[in-house]
Amino acid sequence: MKYKRLGLIVAFCFTSWVVLAFVIFNENSAKKNDVEIRKSSLVKYIQELELQIIQQEETYKILSDKLKKLAPETKGDTTILVLEEPSGLQQRTPSSTIKQDVLQGAEIILPVIVFSCNRPDIRRSLDGLLKYRPDAKKFPIIVSQDCAHGATAEVIRSYTDASQVTYIQQPDQSEPIVPPGETKFKGYFKIARHYLFGLKKVFRTFNHSAVIIVEDDLDVAPDFFSYFASTYHLLKSDPTLWCVSAWNDNGKARLVDMQQGNQLLYRSDFFPGLGWMITKELWDELEPKWPKSYWDDWMRRPEQRKDRACIRPEISRTRTFGKIGVSNGLFFDKHLKYIKLNEMPVDFSSKNLSYLVQSTYDTDYIRNVYSLPVASAPDVRANTKLPFDGPVRIPYYTKDTFKSAAKLLGLMDDFKSGVPRTGYHGIVSFFLNGRRIYLAPHSSWKGYDLTWS
Ligand SMILES: *[C@@H]1O[C@H](CO)[C@@H](O)[C@H](O)[C@H]1NC(C)=O
Ligand SMILES: *[C@@H]1O[C@H](CO)[C@@H](O)[C@H](O)[C@H]1NC(C)=O
Task: Give one DSSP letter per residue of 338-390, joined into a string.
Answer: GBPBP-S---GGGS--GGGSHHHHHHHHHHHHHTSPB--HHHHHH-SS--S-S
What is the domain count for the chain? 3
- The least confident of 9-18, 71-80, 181-190, 272-281 is 71-80
Residues catalogued as catalytic: 296
Long-range CB contacts for residues 155-162, cutoff 8 Å, separation at least 24: 155/120, 155/122, 155/123, 156/116, 156/122, 156/126, 159/126, 159/130
9 and 121 in a single domain? The answer is no
Question: What confidence score (pLDDT) does residue 47 get?
Answer: 58
How does pLDDT run across 356-391, given as a tens digit for each residue?
Answer: 999 999 999 999 999 999 999 999 999 888 888 999
Is 329 domain-assigned? Answer: yes
Cα of 354 vs centre of ligand 2, distance in Å, is: 6
Q: Which of 354, 355, 363 maximizes ligand 2 atoms within 8 Å of its Cβ, making it the mutation to test the pocket?
A: 354
**% residues pLDDT > 70 (the chain):** 75
43 and 141 in a single domain? The answer is no
H/E element, 329: helix 329-334
Does ligand 1 have an atom closer than 6 angstroms to the CB of 207? yes
CA separation for the pair 61, 56 (Å, rounded): 9
Does ligand 2 have an atom closer than 6 angstroms to the CB of 16? no
CA separation for the pair 294, 305 (Å, rounded): 15
Nearest CA to ligand 1 atom 5: 209
Does ligand 2 have an atom closer than 6 angstroms to the CB of 352? yes
Question: What confidence score (pLDDT) does residue 299 get?
Answer: 98
Q: Of 338, 358, 378, which residue sits at a domain end?
A: 358
Q: Which ligand 2 atom lies nearest to the CA of residue 357?
A: 5
Task: Considering every ligand atom shown, identify the ligand nearest to the alpha carbon of residue 105 and give its number.
Answer: 1
148 and 245 in a single domain? The answer is yes
Q: Which of 233, 264, 352 maximizes ligand 2 atoms within 8 Å of its Cβ, making it the mutation to test the pocket?
A: 352
Is 363 domain-assigned? Answer: no
Does ligand 2 have an atom closer than 6 angstroms to the CB of 263? no
Does ligand 2 have an atom closer than 6 angstroms to the CB of 327? no
pLDDT of residue 444 exceeding 70, the answer is: yes
- The least confident of 94-98, 129-133, 316-320, 416-420 is 94-98
Is 81 domain-assigned? Answer: no
Q: How confident is the model at residue 10 (pLDDT cuts 50, 70, 90)?
A: very low
136 and 22 in a single domain? The answer is no
Q: Which ligand 2 atom lies nearest to the CA of residue 360?
A: 5
More confident residue, 114 or 335: 114
Q: Of 55, 70, 85, which residue sits at a domain end?
A: 70
> Order of strands across the sheet with 428-432?
392-396, 435-441, 428-432
Is 418 domain-assigned? Answer: yes
Is 327 domain-assigned? Answer: yes
- The least confident of 184-193, 270-279, 320-329, 340-349 is 320-329
137 and 240 in a single domain? The answer is yes
53 and 120 in a single domain? The answer is no
Nearest CA to ligand 2 atom 8: 354
281 and 338 in a single domain? The answer is yes
Is 333 domain-assigned? Answer: yes
Cα of 199 vs centre of ligand 1, distance in Å, is: 16
329 and 235 in a single domain? The answer is yes
According to DSSP, the residues that pair with 310 across neighbouring strands are: 243, 268
How does pLDDT run across 44-63, given as a tens digit for each residue?
Answer: 565 565 556 555 655 555 55
Is 354 domain-assigned? Answer: yes
Report the chain's mean pLDDT, rounded to a whole number.
85
Residue 207: domain span = 101-358
Is 196 domain-assigned? Answer: yes
Cα of 367 vs centre of ligand 2, distance in Å, is: 18
Question: What confidence score (pLDDT) does residue 50 get?
Answer: 59
Q: Within a 10 A sphere around the Cβ of 294, how many other Cβ atoms?
A: 15
How does pLDDT run across 137-185, given as a tens digit for each residue?
Answer: 999 999 999 999 999 999 999 999 888 999 999 999 999 999 999 999 9
- The least confident of 294-298, 334-338, 361-365 is 334-338
Q: Of 70, 91, 125, which residue sits at a domain end?
A: 70
148 and 65 in a single domain? The answer is no
Cα of 321 vs centre of ligand 2, distance in Å, is: 38
65 and 173 in a single domain? The answer is no
9 and 144 in a single domain? The answer is no
Does ligand 1 have an atom closer than 6 angstroms to the CB of 209? yes
CA separation for the pair 26, 130 (Å, rounded): 63
215 and 348 in a single domain? The answer is yes
Domain containing residue 384: CATH number: 3.10.180.20
Give the gyration radius of the chain's Cα atoms.
25
CA separation for the pair 194, 217 (Å, rounded): 16
Task: Please state the pTM of the whole predicted model.
Answer: 0.80
Domain containing residue 119: CATH number: 3.90.550.10
